[in-house]
Structure 1
Amino acid sequence: MGDPVQTTRNSKPRVLVVDDHPMVREGIRSMLAGELDAWAEAGTGQEALQRLLDLKPDLVLLDVQLPDMDGLTVLQRIKTLSPTTSVLIVTMHDNPGYVQQAVKLGAAGYVLKGISRRELLAAVRAVCEGEAVIEPSLLKRLLGEVTAESGSRTASGDTPEPLTRVEREVLVRLTQGLTNREIAEQLRWSHGTVKKYVQRILEKLQVSDRTQAAVEAVRRGLVG
């Protein structure tokens, strides 16, 4: 079963699901059954923004393809209207460019439709705990593009403040798309210890989220 889904306030989350297909919304609702404090759904961007004001959700699960508005525009408006609301993109679009743009606009995560209930719960749980989650296959492709763009540039491996050996071990796992819980399981650490190391890495790399940390790691040649 795993741990229950909880927000940083240690309560079940209020969730808004935005997708133009009723069957998709119902499927997600079924997968998250028993894990939510409140639930709302919307089939258009405009409806989503109204539901946002009504429900004041902790989390929005958002498709990027909607009939009336571009999903990334909806994301931007959500973050403007409710900065503390986390947004997890759930979509069929597997273009790494969408991932980069979504993260820049404030998305806390990006996963593909068709993931299992266990994977969706893990992503929702991580985002509700303040983490960022990117589908590992998408993150791998994104980092591959970064590597190609870097081309023949020499990677110095330098950061304003050098990473320790242990921090590099954690950074490698960030580039693999692992959540804090998964890293904690691999290294046999507490969840809190992993969070502290991730925060140190973000500070040393001078970035604000895990995806940027992974990109910087590849650009600077910090991981093999």
Structure 2
Amino acid sequence: MIRVLVVDDEALVRTGFTHILNKADDIEVVAAVPGGQAVQTVRELQPDIVLLDIRMPDVDGLTILADLRRMPQAPVVAMLTTFDTDDYVATALRSGAAGFLLKDTDPEQLPHLVRTLAQGGTVLSSEVTRMVVDSYLNNGVREPAAVRLAARLTEREQAVLLLMAEGLANPDIGERLHLSTGTIKGHVTNVLGKLQVSSRLQAALIAERAGLLTPAQNEGAR
């Protein structure tokens, strides 16, 4: 069972996400709370996934994200937003968010996206993906620092990184490379360590900035 915490200042959003996700046989929303209760609720219930509103009146979602990332057993966090050009996207990605979802995400897609997060994948609503690729990734310039970091990777780790950048979860990467999920998990850990990042999206940023992603791969990410 995938245990999910929904954090949003709007009761209607909390109720809607809870209703949709609890219909799935393998997902349980353990709580749905406003931002001020988020950190304590995570400590008490230890959910696997946190769906976190990025803009709330009582507390900044980025502040909550930073607090959660410092926990010894940090949950996977995906940010919720109503804006497809949110100025906070880059900061959230650098801070370790595993994805971005618009609050009006297709209800039929929501359980699938949560499962992807639980399997170690990344999720971006199509509108957010387009903005990230166009504004933050696809600048056509290879950054020397990113090139140096990417040079630390073995050929196999680089192959894993490219599939991570496509948003694939560990089982899917293993299927592509004909390796076990456990082996892929080890490679992912090595990739994150060598790139000095804490999330798969941060690794994807470095892959693009190092010039590793082809235009086709960038387009596929959309």
TM-score, normalised by the number of residues in structure 1: 0.71
Q: Given the superposition, is the C-alpha separation of residues 170 and 98 from structure 1 closer, same or farther in structure 2, using an over 3 Å criterion?
A: same
Task: Give unpaired runs (5+ residues) of structure 1.
Answer: 1-11
Compared CA separation, residues 19 and 221, structure 1 to 2 (3 A): same
What amino acid is aligned across from residue 204 of structure 2 in structure 1?
A: A
Structure 2 partner of 1:58: 48
Matched, 1:69 2:51: no
Query: What is the alpha-carbon distance in structure 2 between the residues aligned to residue 149 and residue 29 of structure 1?
Result: 41
**Superposition pairs of residues 146-185 of structure 1, within 5 angstroms:** 146-148=137-139, 150=141, 159-161=150-152, 163-164=154-155, 167-185=157-175
The CA deviation at 1:135 is: 0.5
Residues in 1 aligned to 2:93 and 2:54: alpha-carbon distance in whole angstroms: 13
Q: 1:201 to 1:24 in 2, by over 3 A?
A: same
The C-alpha deviation readout for 1:23-81, integer Å capped at 9, x for no partner, is: 32222122222334562111x32233443344343332111122322221222234456
- Determine if contact 2:121/2:170 at 8 Å carries over to the other structure: no
CA distance in 2, matches of 1:199, 1:214: 14
Counterpart Cα distance in 1 of 2:160 and 2:122: 15
What is the CA–CA distance in structure 1 between the aligned matches of 2:112 and 2:40, rounded to whole Å? Answer: 28
Residues 1:32 and 1:167: Cα distance change in structure 2 (over 3 Å): same
State how far apart, in whole Å, the 2-side matches of 1:57 and 1:154 are.
Answer: 38
Q: Structure 1 residues 204, 105: CA separation in 2 closer, same or farther (over 3 Å shift)?
A: closer
Amino acid at match of 2:54: V
**2:18 corresponds to which letter in structure 1?**
R
Runs of 4+ in 1 over 6 A off after TM superposition: 153-156
- CA drift of 1:22 comes to 2.6
Change (3 A) 1:148 1:185: same
RMSD: 3.4
Could you list the runs of 5+ residues in structure 2 that have no partner in the other structure?
A: 215-222
Name the CA distance, whole Å, in 1 between partners of 2:95 and 2:194.
22
**Percent identity for Structure 1 against Structure 2:** 35
Q: Match for 2:124: what amino acid?
A: E
The alignment covers a number of residue pairs equal to 209
CA contact (8 A) 1:136 1:176 kept: no
| SS of match in other structure, 2:112 | helix
Native 8 Å contact 1:108 1:133 kept in 2: yes
